Amino acid sequence: MRSRAGSVALAVAGVVVFLAIWEAVPALGLLPQTLLPPPSEIPQAFWAEFQSGLWWHAVQNSLGHYLLGLALGSGLGIALGIATGLTPWLEQSLSWVIRLLRPIPGLAWIPFAIVWFGINPNAALFIIGIGVFWINYFAALSAVQAVDRDLIELADAFGHRRMLPKLWKVILPAASAGLLGGFRTGLGQAWMSVVAAELFGIPGIGARMMEASTLLATDRVVVYMITMALLYGLIDTAFVLLRDRLLRWRA
């Protein structure tokens, strides 16, 4: 208990020191407030955005893009990763296709997203989906390939020779920790992709940040940065609780 209390106290102290330094930098004239607004001004900026209804509208739009893009990219990445991990010939046939496509960042696909889908939410889903696809693909591929082959042989010995029963009863449970680990990494990557996807005019947090920055309203930019951080923190905390519940059987 003492150790835990000490850790919490150190964490709080670190945040307080960080905020104090942040407050001091513009107050001492090291940077103008238009470039770095002090934290004491952020609550007022948030309240103004909230009262106008713009904050809630932006959060709703971005959450919709985030959840749908995350589901799309993660689902396709996990499905292809599992299929590739179970099928050597598929892995070999896709190896160079993946090597060519993997280094291309999500931002590089924005011109194609605009051409293919126009300036609408479908383009945002495409960019976010690409952002999380590769993370989940490689996590699923590694998790499936790391499954103990003795478990698979044991399943064959007990009559589970068909792929679907073997996948459901042996491979997925054995690979579950790796699959969930990749999905958790994608939770954070998806938020980074949301901002990139919305910067070219799709309504949401990214668009509001761009509008505020053009007006040098950096306090509003910080409001939306903090909003994204808090939303990610809540989503990640909820996912960890769900993951621990799902993996309780491994303990």
In the block, tokens 């799709």 appear at: 202
Q: What is the pLDDT of residues 2-27, one digit of tens each?
A: 677 777 788 889 889 999 998 899 88
> Which residues lie closer than 8 Å to 81 by C-beta, 6 or more apart?
136, 137, 138, 139, 140, 141, 143, 144
Is it the case that residue 106 has pLDDT exceeding 90?
A: no
Q: Region 136-161: what's the mean pLDDT?
A: 79
Q: How far is CA 22 from CA 15, 39, 41, in A?
A: 10, 7, 12
Residue 54: exposed, middle, or buried by beta-carbon count in 10 A (0-12, 13-18, 19+)? middle
Report pLDDT for 114.
Answer: 86
Is it the case that residue 145 has pLDDT exceeding 70?
A: yes
Report pLDDT for 56.
Answer: 94
CA 122-129-144 angle, 5° bins: 150
